[in-house]
């Protein structure tokens, strides 16, 4: 079901809520939207670095005079927006001045959108198809980022994204080269998708903010009455449900295009596997997609916790070995930031969930690196009586005393003094706190503003401190000989995702047949000569069909218990429970090609045995 369908179902509720809003709440709502737009805006250092990287990539490829003109204008805009955001943060304006700040920032994002679109003309290399495609990916990626960061103000999304994609698509539509008209059409369709996503996210944000203000009014006026407090509690629960709907809706609609882009980039990498320059460009695109996937995975973690489907699997864990593994994973990031990252402490064993405890340490380490400009991070373990303490020390910006009680709340963000506003969604420490509660361990923070912070996770020591923990074997079995020619039935109703997934699987040597639902199952199976070794399906299909239902019908026609893999962008708690009940293997969009290939190998090998 689309976002528009879900919005239509709740139109009566939305209308009732809108009719109850007072002018005072509407004004507060506008002020909150403007402040949220500045808080989530990302014109920081990374944006400037990206502009410089684009200039480096196209140096000697695009017209040099046009490239210098574009670079100069983009750097001026980026620095101007950065100064605006810093001034806004340093001296938060009075409510009466917010309309002027709103107009200034809308003008800035509009000019920025025009400049990104103009890159389609100024940087367009006439005789280099690879750089033309990369340019389209860059403009599309920046448009997706703008949609997410500016969703609090829908007009800002329109002003930033429409000029960029419309101008760029015009360049491709009027290029006579084969395939470029199709690329132009895809950019226009991508614009329509982003506009729908932006509208949906804005609606959810407005609903959540409206409920918050209504809740404040109710609490202020009815706090002395038990019955009135019950009403306020109901409004708070409704606000929580609105948050859950927003997370599920935004995550699902953003995952679909990012999923398609990930698979297209992987197929492109195989096509230009011998071209080192093309591989470098593709690697840069993949790093950008990894950042987006990290944000979406945070939303998925929260949804899983909301759904109550995270189960604790207790194992014997050697904490120093776990810390060494985490330090090894983050050492490259710390080194790039000019920081040291070390592990310390003696051997200590605990009984806990290896995956969940590792996630806690990784989130705390990533957070420490993000908010540290100089010095470094120490991850240590120490024994205190019958407990073990995992401590994460940093020499970063520290946390103000007033903020220390708020940092574990969802969407709470500390402002990074470096000016880079791409810190994330403010979910990392919330996930840490809720995961600690799930594992029955304690977390505490001590910090001195301007000098650094120390996070401590405390959990009981295992009774036996001599037993060596056995590491989990996470290696998937290699694909057996001959399975590269396996027959795969794809069930997907989104054309971009279907084309991307089919192209990727065929590039791996599989024979694929595609259908968008129940009606085409028989024909697709016939095109595979009646042999199907694996079924891969989206969950939500057209006409009210679901992937598990269509997969079961395909199994009945095949006459075998063919393995089924469900690939979905759904992250709502209720939907996660439904997906678990299917009993099928599950991946969430956007899917990493390596992760997909590993699971496909596993399922095919398991089926062969």
| The pLDDT of residue 585 is above 90 | no
What is the rounded distance in angstroms from the CA atom of residue 29 to the CA atom of residue 39?
15
Long-range CB contacts for residues 416-420, cutoff 8 Å, separation at least 24: 416/370, 416/371, 417/373, 418/44, 418/45, 418/373, 419/44, 419/45, 419/82, 419/85, 419/86, 420/42, 420/44, 420/45, 420/46
pLDDT tens digits for 486-497? Answer: 899 999 888 877
Same domain? For 419 and 554 the reply is no
What is the rounded distance in angstroms from the CA atom of residue 535 to the CA atom of residue 491?
8
Predicted confidence band of residue 124 (pLDDT cuts 50, 70, 90): confident
Residue 474 forms part of a structural domain: no
**Dihedrals phi, psi of 178, to nearest 5 degrees:** -60, 130
Q: For 133-193, list the strands marked E by DSSP.
A: none
- Give me Rg for the CA atoms of the chain: 26
Residue 264 forms part of a structural domain: yes
Same domain? For 295 and 344 the reply is no
Residue 472 forms part of a structural domain: no
The residue range of the domain holding 66 is 3-305
Q: Helix (H, G, I), strand (E, B), or coil: what is residue 318?
A: strand
pLDDT tens digits for 326-356? Answer: 888 788 778 888 999 999 988 889 888 877 7
What is the rounded distance in angstroms from the CA atom of residue 578 to the CA atom of residue 575?
5
Residue that finishes a domain, picked among 267, 283, 305: 305
User: Which residues contact residue 569 at a Cβ distance below 8 angstroms, ignoring those fewer than 6 apart?
Assistant: 251, 252, 253, 254, 255, 256, 259, 588, 589
Q: Are 593 and 262 in contact (CB under 8 A)?
A: yes
pLDDT tens digits for 431-442? Answer: 788 788 878 888
Same domain? For 255 and 286 the reply is yes
| The pLDDT of residue 231 is above 80 | no
What's residue 478's pLDDT?
39
What's residue 559's pLDDT?
84
pLDDT tens digits for 504-543? Answer: 888 888 899 999 988 999 999 999 888 899 999 888 888 8
**Dihedrals phi, psi of 443, to nearest 5 degrees:** -130, 140
Helices (H), 528-583: 547-558, 573-582
Q: Are 282 and 138 in contact (CB under 8 A)?
A: no
What's residue 422's pLDDT?
42
Highest average pLDDT, of 1-5, 176-180, 340-344, comes from 340-344
pLDDT tens digits for 81-120? Answer: 888 888 888 888 888 888 899 899 899 889 988 988 888 8
Residue 450 forms part of a structural domain: yes
Ranking 9-18, 62-71, 371-380, 388-397 by mean pLDDT, the lowest is: 9-18
Predicted confidence band of residue 414 (pLDDT cuts 50, 70, 90): low
For residues 590 and 468, the model is more confident at 590
- CATH number where 336 lies: 3.30.565.10
Residue 41 forms part of a structural domain: yes
Same domain? For 113 and 147 the reply is yes
Same domain? For 97 and 205 the reply is yes
Predicted confidence band of residue 142 (pLDDT cuts 50, 70, 90): confident
Beta bridge partners of 123: none
pLDDT tens digits for 20-71? Answer: 445 566 788 888 888 888 877 666 666 777 788 888 888 888 888 888 998 8
Q: What's the structural domain count of the chain? A: 3
């Amino acid at each position: 079901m689309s976002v528009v369908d879900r919005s239509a179902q709740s139109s009566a509720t939305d209308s009732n809520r809108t009719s109850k809003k007072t002018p005072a709440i509407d004004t507060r709502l506008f002020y909150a939207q403007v402040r949220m737009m500045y808080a989530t805006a990302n014109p920081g250092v990374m944006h400037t670095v990206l502009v410089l990287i684009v200039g480096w990539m196209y140096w000697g490829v695009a017209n040099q005079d046009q490239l210098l003109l574009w670079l100069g204008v983009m750097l001026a805009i980026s620095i101007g927006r950065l100064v605006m955001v810093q001034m806004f943060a340093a001296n938060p304006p009075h409510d009466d001045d917010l309309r002027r700040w709103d107009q200034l920032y809308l003008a800035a994002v509009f000019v920025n959108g025009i400049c990104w679109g103009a890159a389609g003309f100024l940087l367009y290399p006439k005789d280099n198809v690879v750089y033309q495609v990369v340019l389209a990916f860059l403009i599309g990626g920046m448009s997706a980022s703008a949609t997410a960061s500016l969703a609090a103000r829908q007009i800002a999304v329109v002003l930033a994204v429409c000029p960029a994609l419309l101008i760029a698509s015009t360049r491709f539509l009027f290029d006579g080269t084969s395939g470029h008209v199709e690329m132009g059409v895809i950019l226009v369709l991508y614009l329509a998708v982003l506009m729908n996503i932006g509208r949906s996210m804005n609606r959810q944000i407005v609903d959540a903010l409206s409920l918050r203000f209504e809740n404040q009014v109710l609490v202020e006026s009815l706090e002395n009455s038990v019955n009135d407090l019950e009403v306020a509690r109901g409004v708070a629960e409704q606000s929580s449900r609105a948050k859950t709907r927003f997370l599920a809706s935004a995550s699902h609609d953003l995952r679909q295009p990012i999923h398609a882009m990930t698979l297209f980039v992987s197929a492109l990498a195989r096509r230009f596997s011998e071209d080192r320059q093309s591989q470098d460009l593709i690697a840069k695109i993949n790093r950008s997609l990894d950042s987006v996937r990290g944000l979406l995975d945070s939303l998925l973690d929260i949804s899983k916790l909301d759904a109550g489907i995270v189960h604790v699997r207790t194992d014997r864990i050697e904490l120093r070995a776990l810390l060494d593994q985490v330090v090894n994973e983050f050492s490259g990031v710390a080194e790039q930031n000019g920081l040291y990252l070390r592990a310390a402490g003696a051997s200590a064993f605990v009984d806990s969930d290896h995956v969940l405890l590792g996630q806690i340490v990784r989130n705390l380490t990533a957070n420490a690196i993000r908010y540290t400009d100089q010095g470094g991070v120490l991850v240590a373990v120490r024994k205190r009586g019958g407990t073990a303490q995992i401590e994460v020390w940093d020499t970063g910006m520290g946390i103000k005393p007033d903020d220390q009680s708020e940092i574990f709340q969802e969407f709470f963000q500390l402002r990074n003094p470096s000016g880079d506003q791409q810190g994330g969604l403010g979910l990392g420490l919330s996930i840490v706190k809720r995961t600690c509660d799930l594992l029955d361990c304690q977390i505490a923070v001590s910090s001195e503003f301007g000098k650094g912070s120390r996070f401590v996770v405390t959990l009981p020591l295992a009774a036996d401190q001599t037993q060596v923990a056995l590491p989990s074997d996470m290696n998937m079995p290699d694909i057996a000989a001959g399975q590269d020619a396996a027959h795969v039935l794809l069930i997907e109703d989104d054309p971009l995702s279907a084309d991307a997934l089919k192209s990727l699987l065929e590039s791996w040597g599989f024979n694929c047949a595609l259908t968008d639902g129940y009606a085409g199952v028989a024909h697709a199976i016939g095109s595979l000569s009646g042999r199907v070794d694996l079924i891969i399906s989206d969950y939500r299909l057209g006409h009210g069909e679901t992937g598990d239902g269509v997969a079961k019908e395909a199994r009945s026609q095949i006459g075998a218990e063919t393995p089924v893999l469900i690939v979905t962008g759904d992250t709502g708690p209720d939907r996660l429970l439904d997906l678990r009940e299917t009993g099928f293997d599950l991946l969430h969009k956007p899917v990493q090609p390596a992760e997909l290939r590993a699971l496909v190998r596993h399922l095919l090998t398991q089926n062969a045995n």
